[in-house]
Amino acid sequence: MLPLTREEVEHVAMLARLELSREETENYTNQLDSILEYVDKLNELDVENVEPTAHVLPINNVFREDKVWEGISRDVALDNAPDKEDGQFKVPKIV
């Protein structure tokens, strides 16, 4: 596996909406690289014909009925909001 580059780390940070300083980027690049080196161990195994386990439980088809139940009031929903207006959550400009 090729070593992780700065650019890749910056790209990943963007995807995760994280802001890293130069130093942090440097540190994370090194740390993530050593973790990835460690997990590379998995390449010792041949898993070509193995099914992935996304769900460890053998259950399927869990449903609920199409019924309406009262949720929470608007006041409660907005109670923890850092910023709100007109009964809605307020966020700074998107573009």
The reply on whether position 2 binds another protein by CB under 8 A is no
Minimum distance of another protein from residue 92's CB (angstroms): 5
Minimum distance of another protein from residue 46's CB (angstroms): 10
Minimum distance of another protein from residue 26's CB (angstroms): 13
Contacts by residues 19-26 (CB-CB < 8 Å, ≥ 24 positions apart): none
Q: How far apart are CA 5 and CA 25, in angstroms?
A: 10
The reply on whether position 22 binds another protein by CB under 8 A is no
- The contact pattern for another protein, residues 38-67, with x = CB under 8 A and - = no contact, is xxxxxxxx-x--xxxxxxxx-xxxxxxxxx
Q: How far apart are CA 30 and CA 5, in angstroms?
A: 9
Alpha carbon 37 to its chain's center: 21
Q: Which residues pair with 85 in a beta bridge?
A: 88
| Count of C-beta atoms within a 10 Å radius of residue 4 | 19
The reply on whether position 33 binds another protein by CB under 8 A is no
| Footprint on this chain of another protein (rule: CB under 8 A) | 1, 4, 8-9, 12-20, 28, 31-32, 34-36, 38-45, 47, 50-57, 59-69, 71-74, 76-83, 85-95
